């Protein structure tokens, strides 16, 4: 079928290429002309304005937005002014699902369908396929089935779950109509919340292995440092590239994130390309807000999120206050940071 | 090669079958005669006592223990009285690595080698292969290479990590000599610590999805219950069997634990076979102790462990004290538990 | 001065009594006639309708609302229809500070002042005085200074902070104009977020002391239960009423919450009047939401909140999924809960 | 009575002064001659060697050790060689209670009593009195009652708990015989575990207030930074010195740690004397180990401890691994740290 794609960054461009390869037609637009030109060479129809994109698509149109969260609303306003009743907009970026609720109500009043699509797969999606979490009305979602099927990895990407027989469900192919508007980004939001904690689980565990030789050089015990009681129990110099490689086969903790960790540690065992500051892009925060609204305990997910905030330097005032209290009641003056910070 | 196996429970018996299939000879013993008989029919040599097992093995012997943690030391004492200098004992159960340090020193004094082997793979290992984390002296470990190779899944179990070329390392086959004694169980301990947190990450996230329809039946707001400010934002009835199935293909959070979750939710979406009490078998605890000794922050791993303790009812006194304080300062009387608890 | 009070529950009635005792005049209203009558006997002027209350107050009026959060908006709508430009409404209940932002803008458009007041002190406030956290315009707040002074504990309630000299600031007396509208309930919100964590700190620590005799009756070690490695290190039967009493004098952790804990444990060492379910009334949740919006790490506050959610039974589905995974990979069947749950 | 004191640092010297003031005789020793001389001027008998100290004390002797944890065992070995059956050693430093178990058994074999004393009060204890948590045999503890009474704050330090009548118990005076050997340091250990979490509760909450003006200068939203959805809800410039002062009177969260926070923030609102690195001196770690051995969930206490580890730089490798994974799956390159780190 024919699909318009607005936003040709890392994700959007790769999705278009996957769609073209599957035989779909794509009309593409981006504010950067070179992004449009590059995809045009690969078989897409370039559009150098929203007007041109809308004009080139047959009604009822389907236009997919793949934009940074901050520019979605502005683009949507301009775009919907050009669309007609019966057209469909698919928002595939990192939108908060509450924005989907608001936008879909606004567009519905004008007869335009809104579909929210959470997209996972990262830079690997072009070859591996994208996992698609979809929210919207049945009618609009159903019409887009060929696009979702082409983007998704397909059932053969993993062995079928025992007991599942007959024609694969959409979920088995890698896309799912999760529910009404917002449902797609809600599921994607929780997906990312889980992702943060999975990542932290590996990172914390591997950090224990990384420090398992602390007994060879135990920290000086003084009034300000807890002594290591049994240094002889920490003599191990583990090779983390080999350990993560090992766990990929036969262990309970095999996963794609482990595969990536093994790759990263094989390339650079000390991970010296990275500074220790870890960004968060919103979904982890929104996941906590949903958990709190629902009254659902998520201590593991929360810990992973807060560790990122701390890595960004945001515990500094807290820590200074701890030191100020320690000085006030015990006369403790803190030792300086490693590296003289 | 020839291997003695003591302990023919779920794990030990399956490992023997995998070894037999690979062409190794096994002399097997268990205190339950029927376990011995059953494996004898599959091609193992049965031994109805430790003496018989030792007698049937050619020197230098290799004897693998696959026993509940509580009976290892007793069996080891009896066994080593029968062994000779040059023999090797492999402890493959859930031992604390500090017990490995102690035992290996004791056996070394008598010329007997001790190898610790952390084994992951659970009930699926017989067909899928076992992930083996090995600690001990190079000489003893090297001699056992054919056994480890046969038990491990093999390199073909997963695609090779990009950049790894030439003959696969042992880790790529699914076994690794991690370091001196204790190193195997240390790595296995951290593996399980990570496992607890990975499991909790999925469980907490799916619990948010499970409650995403709370807006349809918001809890009564009263002085003792926080009101849900925007119930209209929680209208979703998610199908968790389909969502977990979806995430298996193309998402960032694919893993074997997710595969198992998808299976469990497909079979019984409400998970009504389970009570909500979750055991912990030691490694998660020891992982925390190592983190604390090393001074390494592991808030995510700790949260997962403490959630299990709470599921076991161990927060009860804490919670009563919270209620007692609330009553003391605010006159708050708590509402009764769901179900009148 | 003259103050109207709407809402004569535990808090509102006691505040009126404290104001009357300080020589202020109060016109009081509640939907329960007997609450009005009871305060009338103590010297307040009763009003059996909002109209009567407004009529009895001289302009410019000051009316304090002390109502359950759920009925504030309804009452406010009726009340403001009766008020005139120049009047002031003080909202002293457990409002979300964002509701203060909305309401104050609405009332400002009509020339009515809105002041938000976070009130701490619980059932003890009538004698001990109330800690008042105030938000609003300087003009409106300044006019209410006599009321705030009368409600607050006064500077003599605690020794002055070293270095503070001269006339005590309002904060030293126990009330503070924290900032523009919403500031009062914002500070009260964080106060309660801190409160939850302080309470949890004592509760968790005392739970460790409560179980310090576990070595006398160690749990049976089996494949589903982690063994206690050194039972001889846990022989202690602590008297928690005496320990909490002890900590009240000279320790670093003395506090009012500790005083209350000591009282509760002295009355009933096993706390058998309480079930283990702990409510949360909103501020702890909103505190987390603010922390997340700000990107500030609050792992300790979050853990305290999530422990309450868990006590309310909301981890049940998570825990069932953990058991389902354990069964899937290891064939583990969980032990039954204590008491056969 | 007569008491020997070994170790005249901040704590030991102040304790001697408090004992002298109460009329007790003290023989004092320290490896630093000037510390001995200084106390001699205040009325103590100086001893320039352990031999001299022992010689100057009448049998049965009572000798209190107030030393850094790392030198206790060495000093104890030398000291006990000089003591006689019937003498008593009191260890008042930051010993692990398991060391008390070991040492008391060793000394008991030689007829020497061992008493463990957890001492809280910090630099304020000389005037305020010390909170004493005592473990040991009844006979030895009973004999020391005059010393404990003199060091403790006394019943008048706080109002009596309602319901407590008649002669005050020792706990009401500020000292308690908690149980057999180790019990004193066990209770002190948990005291410190609680202390860490109380401190963190205030620090985290005040950090939220500190950042409540983030809406005035919202962080730039980009693909690597979560946007602040409603900046207008974060306009507040709170004065934390006034807020903490406010909470001291009438609020639920009043405490000595809050008093100290109010002092520190009054002196230096930005806490610029401190770097953000927070030490931990052992008890917080041991508290977690006890909780884990007992299977008691302590998520709040653990979070406080791990935040300190993180402040010490120990999450660095974890965080690098998170960044490495983010780069691997999403091509994310992290932003630089504030201040160019």
Cα B95 from Cα B102, distance rounded (Å): 11
pLDDT in the model for residue B223: 61
Give the H or E element holding residue D73. helix D72-82
As a three-state string, the secondary structure of C124-185 is HHHHHCCEEEEECCHHHHHHCHHHHHHHCCCHHHCCCCCCCCCCCCHHHHCEEEEECCCHHH
CA C67 from chain centre, in angstroms, equals: 14
Percent of chain D with pLDDT over 70: 96
| Residue B154: pLDDT over 70 | yes
C122 three-state secondary structure: helix
Written in H, E and C, the secondary structure of chain A is CEEEEECCCHHHHHHHHHHHHCCCEEEEECCCHHHHHHHHHCCCEECCCHHHHHHHCCCCCEEEECCCHHHHHHHHHHHHHHCCCCCEEEECCCCCHHHHHHHHHHHHCCCCEEEEEEEECHHHHHHHCCEEEEECCHHHHHHCHHHHHHHCCCHHHCCCCCCCCCCCCHHHHCEEEEECCCHHHHHHHHHHHHHHHHHHHHHHHHHHHHCCCHHHCCCCCECCECCCCCHHHCCCCCCHHHHHHHHCCCCCCCEHHHHHHHHHHHHCCCCCCCCCCCCECCHHHHHHHHHHHHCCCCHHHHHHHHHHHHHCCCCHHHHHHHHHHHHHHHCCCCCCCHHHC
Region A192-208 average pLDDT: 98
ipTM above 0.90, yes or no: yes
Q: How many angstroms separate the CA atoms of C264 and A197, rounded?
A: 38
Mutant choice from C98, C128, C201 vs D, greatest count of D C-beta within 10 A: C201
Angle formed at CA D338 by CA D333 and CA D341, multiple of 5 degrees: 75
pLDDT tier at D117 (50, 70, 90 boundaries)? very high
D71 touches chain C (CB under 8 A): no
pTM of the model as a whole = 0.96
Identify whether A60 is preceded by a cis peptide bond (ω within 30 of 0). Answer: yes
Question: Is beta strand C131-135 parallel, antiparallel or unpaired with respect to C113-120?
Answer: antiparallel
C138, two tokens: 């300087």
pLDDT in the model for residue B336: 53
D200 touches chain A (CB under 8 A): yes
Specify the DSSP class assigned to residue D280.
B
CB-based contacts of D246, cutoff 8 Å, min separation 6: C131, C133, C171, C174, C175, C176, C187
Q: Take residue B61 and report the two structure tokens written for it.
A: 């012997």
What does the buried/exposed string (b/e) look like for D101-116 if buried means 16 or more CB atoms within 10 Å of the residue's CB?
A: bebbeebeeeebbbbb
Any B CB within 8 A of A216 CB: no
> Is residue D31 over pLDDT 50?
yes
Average pLDDT score, chain A: 94
Residue with tokens 């201590």: A299
- Judged by CB atoms closer than 8 Å, whether chains meet at D294 and C211 is answered as yes
Mutation for B interface: C319, C331, C337, C341, most B CBs within 10 A: C319
Q: Hey, CA dihedral for A194, A197, A201, A202, is it positive or negative?
A: positive
pLDDT at A341: 30
Architecture of domain A2-181: 3-Layer(aba) Sandwich (3.40)
Q: How many whole angstroms separate alpha carbon D206 and alpha carbon C298?
A: 10
Q: What is the pLDDT of residues A112-131, one digit of tens each?
A: 999 999 999 888 899 999 99
> CB distance from D303 to chain B under 8 Å?
yes
B141 pLDDT above the threshold of 60: yes
What's the pLDDT at A337?
44
Going by DSSP bridges, is the β-strand pair D62-65/D2-6 parallel, antiparallel, or unpaired?
A: parallel
Indicate the pLDDT class of residue C337, thresholds 50, 70 and 90.
very low
The whole-number pLDDT of residue A338 equals 40
With CA atoms as reference, the chain A residue closest to C305 would be A297
pLDDT of residue C336: 53
Q: Are residues D208 and C296 in contact, defined by beta-carbon separation less than 8 angstroms? A: yes
- From the list A165, A195, A224, A245, the catalytic residue is A195
Q: Does the pLDDT at position A225 exceed 90?
A: no
Percent of chain D with pLDDT over 90: 90
Give the one of D120, D236, D242 whose C-beta lies nearest to C169's C-beta.
Answer: D242
Q: Report the pLDDT value the prediction gives residue B121, as an integer from 0 to 100.
A: 87
pLDDT of residue C330: 86
Touching B (3+ Cβ pairs <8 A), the chains are A, C, D
| Chain D nearest C-alpha distance from C204 (Å) | 5
pLDDT of residue C333: 75
CA distance B204 to B234: 17
**Is B195 a residue of the active site?**
yes
The band of A281, judged by pLDDT with boundaries at 50, 70 and 90, is confident
SS (H, E, C) chain B: CEEEEECCCHHHHHHHHHHHHCCCEEEEECCCHHHHHHHHHCCCEECCCHHHHHHHCCCCCEEEECCCHHHHHHHHHHHHHHCCCCCEEEECCCCCHHHHHHHHHHHHCCCCEEEEEEEECHHHHHHHCCEEEEECCHHHHHHCHHHHHHHCCCHHHCCCCCCCCCCCCHHHHCEEEEECCCHHHHHHHHHHHHHHHHHHHHHHHHHHHHCCCHHHCCCCCECCECCCCCHHHCCCCCCHHHHHHHHCCCCCCCEHHHHHHHHHHHHCCCCCCCCCCCCECCHHHHHHHHHHHHCCCCHHHHHHHHHHHHHCCCCHHHHHHHHHHHHHHHCCCCCCCHHHC
The candidate with the shortest Cα–Cα distance to A75, out of A13, A41, A31, A28, is: A31
Residue B245, pLDDT above cutoff 80 = yes
Element (H or E) spanning C249, and its range? none
At C55-78, the pLDDT tens digits run 999 999 999 999 998 899 999 999
Q: Is the peptide bond before B67 cis (omega within 30 degrees of 0)?
A: no
Q: Is the pLDDT of residue B337 over 60?
A: no
Residue C32 token pair: 């329960």
pLDDT in tens, D267-294: 999 999 999 999 998 999 999 999 999 9
Q: How confident is the model at residue D39 (pLDDT cuts 50, 70, 90)?
A: very high
C-beta of residue A277 within 8 angstroms of C-beta of residue C259: no
pLDDT of D185 > 90? The answer is: yes
**Which of B296, B302, B314 faces D296 most closely, judged by CB atoms?**
B314
What is the least distance, in Å, from the CA of C104 to any CA of chain B? 19
Dihedral angle of Cα B134, B137, B139, B140, to the nearest 10 degrees = -60
DSSP C48-78: SSHHHHHHHSPSSPEEEE---GGGHHHHHHH
pLDDT single digits (tens) D205-219? 999 999 999 999 877
Is D307 near chain B, with CB under 8 Å? yes
Please, are residues B102 and B96 in contact by the beta-carbon 8 Å criterion? Answer: no
Q: Are D75 and D65 in contact (CB under 8 A)?
A: yes
- Joined together, the tokens standing for residue D54 give 């022992």
Four-residue CA torsion sign, A248, A251, A256, A260:
negative
- Cβ neighbours of residue B26 closer than 8 Å, sequence gap 6 or more: B2, B3, B4, B5, B16, B19, B20, B39, B44, B45
Q: Domain A189-238+275-330 classified CATH 3.30.70.120? A: no
Contact residues, chain D, for A226 at CB < 8 Å: 280-282, 285
Tokens at A306, concatenated: 């807060």
| Token representation of residue B50 | 């430790």
- Do the chains contact at B326 and C263, CB–CB below 8 Å? no
Does the annotation count B21 as an active-site position?
Answer: no
Contacts of A96 in chain D (CB under 8 A): 229
Question: So where are chain C's domains?
Answer: 2-181, 189-238+275-330
Cα dihedral angle (D282, D286, D289, D293), rounded to 10 degrees?
Answer: 170
Other Cβ atoms within 10 Å of C314 Cβ, number: 20
Give the other-Cβ count within 10 Å of B167's Cβ.
7
Same topology, domains B2-181 and B189-238+275-330? Answer is no
Q: Which residue of chain C is at minimal alpha-carbon distance from A252? A: C329
Class of residue A58 by CB neighbours under 10 A (exposed 0-12, middle 13-18, buried 19+): exposed
Task: Tell me the CA end-to-end span of chain B in Å, nearest whole number.
Answer: 59
- The whole-number average pLDDT for the span C228-241 is 95
Contacts of C315 in chain A (CB under 8 A): 296-297
Question: Residue A224: is its pLDDT beyond 80?
Answer: no
**pLDDT confidence of residue C221:** 63
Mean of per-residue pLDDT scores for chain D: 94
Q: What pLDDT is recorded for position D173?
A: 98
Cβ atoms < 10 Å from Cβ of D127 = 12
pLDDT-based confidence at residue B340 (cuts at 50, 70, 90): very low
- pLDDT value at C339 more than 70: no
The closest alpha carbon to A294, from C300, C195, C306, C304, belongs to C306
Answer whether A82's CB lies under 8 Å from A89's CB: no
Size of chain A in residues: 341
What would the two tokens of residue D306 be?
């791990």
Report which of A254, A108, D103 is spatially closest to residue B174, judged by C-alpha positions: A254
CA distance A292 to A190: 13
Task: Please tell me the distance in Å from A24's CA to the nearest CA on chain B.
Answer: 20
Mean pLDDT for B256-260 is 97
Q: How many CB atoms lie within 10 A of CB C35?
A: 18
């Amino acid at each position: 079928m024919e699909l318009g794609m607005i936003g040709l960054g890392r994700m959007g461009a790769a999705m278009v290429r996957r769609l073209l390869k599957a035989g779909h037609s794509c009309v593409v637009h981006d504010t950067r002309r070179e992004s449009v030109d590059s995809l045009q060479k690969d078989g897409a129809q370039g559009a150098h304005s929203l007007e041109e994109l809308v004009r080139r698509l047959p009604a009822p149109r389907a236009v997919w937005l793949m934009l940074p969260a901050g520019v979605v609303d502005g683009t949507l306003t301009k775009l919907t002014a050009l669309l007609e009743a019966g057209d469909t907009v698919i928002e595939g970026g990192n939108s908060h699902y509450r924005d989907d609720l608001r936008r879909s109500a606004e567009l519905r009043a004008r007869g335009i369908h809104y579909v929210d699509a959470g997209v996972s797969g990262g830079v690997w999606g072009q070859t591996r396929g994208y996992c698609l979490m979809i929210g919207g009305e049945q009618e609009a979602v159903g019409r887009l089935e060929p696009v979702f099927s082409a983007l998704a990895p397909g059932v053969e990407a993993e062995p079928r779950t025992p007991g599942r027989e007959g024609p694969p469900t959409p979920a088995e192919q890698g896309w799912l109509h999760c529910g009404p508007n917002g449902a797609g980004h809600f599921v994607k939001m929780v997906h990312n919340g889980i992702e943060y904690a999975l990542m932290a689980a590996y990172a914390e565990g591997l950090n224990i292995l990384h420090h398992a030789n602390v007994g060879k050089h135990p920290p000086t015990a003084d009034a300000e440092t807890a002594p290591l009681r049994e240094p002889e129990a920490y003599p191990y110099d583990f090779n983390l590239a080999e350990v993560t490689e090992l766990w990929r086969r036969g262990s309970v903790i095999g996963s794609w994130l482990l595969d990536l960790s093994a790759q990263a540690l094989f390339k650079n065992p000390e991970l010296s390309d990275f500074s220790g500051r870890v960004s968060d892009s919103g979904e982890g925060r929104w996941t906590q807000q949903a958990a709190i609204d629902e009254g659902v305990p998520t201590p593991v997910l929360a810990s992973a999120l807060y560790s990122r905030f701390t890595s960004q330097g945001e515990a500094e005032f807290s820590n200074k206050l701890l030191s100020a209290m320690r000085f006030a009641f015990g006369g403790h003056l803190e030792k300086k940071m490693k590296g003289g910070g």
